[in-house]
Structure 1
């Protein structure tokens, strides 16, 4: 990510003279490489990076007499925002009319897939249970969105427990440890559906 590129490698085993590893970096494939760190473990995070730039890394082992192995195979990494897969699961009220489809609307244009912005009937969820609907979308980490659920029209937008207007739901995409994020929401009521009118 723009905050750092983390490298991991397999340890050298069976060499009692092993001291550690030199992490080496280049801005071009094949080098020349500059040593940016000497570590005793098998992981290093390079934080002296520029967003959008691609870096090329090799690692070599160093023993206690400062003899060095050959370079490892080269790996390349780009300092860019990572993609997060977000699964929205919403529980809707039992009063939801039979045959209805649940939609999500909001600043979805900030996510992947050229999704519409605030279109109440533009992005449908899939029913996964009697009162449960779900959709998985992707976007870049740190992206912030606001959203609401509808039944395809602003005339049937989600309402609060007392049939009150509710604020837009807010979410910031977070990569976490594996790039997946789970959001569980509940819609108490719908506008123009009992008990909120009609």
Structure 2
């Protein structure tokens, strides 16, 4: 690159610079409504397990009791994390053990939930 002054004198070429653009940070807010039998269980907590190590903060990968959600009502739980735009996740909700991951209506194993972080208009 070269510069020009007001008299149109050209400078020598500047040294090249290499830069890498950082991906934008996305705030991920996860909310879950749990069924009434789960909500009424005394001392019950809801967790998230999955490829959470792809998010910021050193979260564990597929630890069913590693990331506890915050209870905001008798049936609603929430968790807020951050990660980079474009990060792909797979996850499930659990009650803290591999025996208590979310199941379907007939107690069948459900496929992992999937999402991709997208910055969008607000970054949330």
TM-score (norm 2): 0.82
User: Greater strand share, 1 or 2?
Assistant: 1
Q: Which has the higher helix share?
A: 2
Q: Distance in 2 between matches of 1:154 and 1:32?
A: 63
SS at match of 1:98: coil
1:25-50 deviation per Cα after TM superposition (whole angstroms, max 9, x unaligned) = x7xxxx848xxxxxxxxxxxxxxxx8
Which of structure 1's runs of 4+ aligned residues deviate more than 2 A? none
- 1:172 CA displacement: 0.2
2:68 paired residue among 120, 124, 127: 124
Question: In 2, are the aligned partners of 1:85 and 1:137 still within 8 Å (CA)?
Answer: yes
Aligned to 1:175: 119
Alignment equivalent of 2:91, drawn from 143, 147, 164: 147
Query: Which string of whole-angstrom CA distances, capped at 9 and with x for unpartnered residues, describes residues 92-134 of structure 1?
Result: 1111122111000000000000000000000000001111000
- Whether 1:133 and 2:81 are equivalent positions in the alignment is no
Distance 1:51 1:85, change over 3 A: farther
Which residue of the partner structure matches residue 9 of structure 2? Answer: none
Q: With structure 1 as the length reference, what TM-score do the two structures score?
A: 0.52
Residue 22 of structure 2: aligned partner: 80
Query: Once the 2 structures are TM-superposed, how far is the Cα of residue 161 of structure 1 from its aligned partner?
Result: 1.8
Question: Which of residues 154, 160, 170 in structure 1 aligns to 2:104?
Answer: 160
Contact in 2 for aligned 1:93/1:131 (Cα 8 Å): yes
CA RMSD of aligned residues (A): 1.8
Say whether the 8 Å CA contact 1:51–1:80 is kept in structure 2. Answer: no
Could you say which structure has the greater relative contact order, defined with CA pairs below 8 angstroms and 6 or more residues apart? 2
Query: Measured at CA, do residues 129 and 117 of structure 1 come closer, stay the same or move farther in structure 2, by a change above 3 Å?
Result: same
Whether the 8 Å contact between 1:87 and 1:134 is mirrored in structure 2 is: yes
Pair 1:104-2:19 in alignment: no
> Larger radius of gyration, structure 1 or 2?
1
Distance (Å, rounded) in 2 between the aligned partners of 1:32 and 1:110 = 43
Matches within 5 A, 1:8-47: 32=3
**Which 5+ residue runs of structure 2 have no aligned equivalent?**
5-17
Structure 1 residues without counterparts, runs of 5 or longer: 1-25, 34-49, 53-78, 181-198
